[in-house]
């Protein structure tokens, strides 16, 4: 029986970001799992992340509040689905903490995988959406530009804290 690859991107509903960064995997992991670090890199400038709560366990909360340049706050909340230290972080806004479905139905699930690559990290994000319309909206909102800019900020931050 063939094994299903659940991480194979579907071009109709998924967005992908993959890069090699010159920061060790352990530091990339720390940047993603420490609220104090999230506040410094998670939102592409000139936006800011002004609040973050993490309970790093399946069903645990992953909550951020972003602040626009105009001063408008955008709270985001979801939960972690799967965690493999220094390797994989899966989170979604489709569920609230404790796997309770969100009233809004949510937007996407992100699968972040990290793989050692020399002294750096192969950084891979698979952003899965419930339908083509949601994927297109996320892409038009600037998924590639925003996630790349945030990753640049993560790299700069973690190089400074080495």
pTM of the full predicted structure? 0.93
Contacts of 116 (CB under 8 A, 6+ apart): 24, 25, 122
Whichever domain contains 48, its CATH number is 3.30.530.20
| pLDDT (average), residues 99-128 | 95
Domain membership of residue 157 (yes or no) is yes
Residue 99 has what pLDDT? 96
Number of neighbours of residue 50 by Cβ within 10 angstroms: 14
Domain membership of residue 4 (yes or no) is no
Domain membership of residue 77 (yes or no) is yes
Tell whether the model's pLDDT for residue 54 goes beyond 90: yes
> For residue 28, what are the domain limits?
14-161
Number of domains in the chain: 1
Domain membership of residue 98 (yes or no) is yes
Domain membership of residue 119 (yes or no) is yes
Residue 161 has what pLDDT? 86
| pLDDT (average), residues 90-97 | 96
């Amino acid at each position: 029986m063939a094994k299903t690859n659940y991480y194979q991107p579907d071009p109709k509903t998924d967005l992908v970001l993959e890069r090699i960064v010159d920061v060790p995997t352990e530091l990339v992991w720390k940047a993603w799992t420490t609220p104090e670090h999230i506040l410094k890199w998670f939102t592409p400038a000139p936006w800011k992340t002004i609040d973050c709560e993490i309970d790093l366990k399946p069903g645990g909360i992953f909550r951020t509040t972003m602040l626009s340049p105009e001063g408008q706050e955008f709270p985001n909340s979801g939960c972690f689905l799967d965690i493999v230290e220094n390797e994989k972080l899966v989170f979604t806004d489709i569920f609230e903490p404790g796997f309770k479905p969100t009233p809004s139905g949510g937007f996407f699930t992100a699968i972040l995988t990290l793989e050692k690559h020399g002294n750096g990290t192969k950084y891979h994000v698979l952003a899965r959406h419930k339908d083509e319309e949601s994927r297109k909206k996320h892409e038009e909102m600037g998924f590639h530009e925003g996630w790349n800019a945030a990753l640049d900020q993560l790299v700069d931050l973690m190089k400074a804290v080495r």
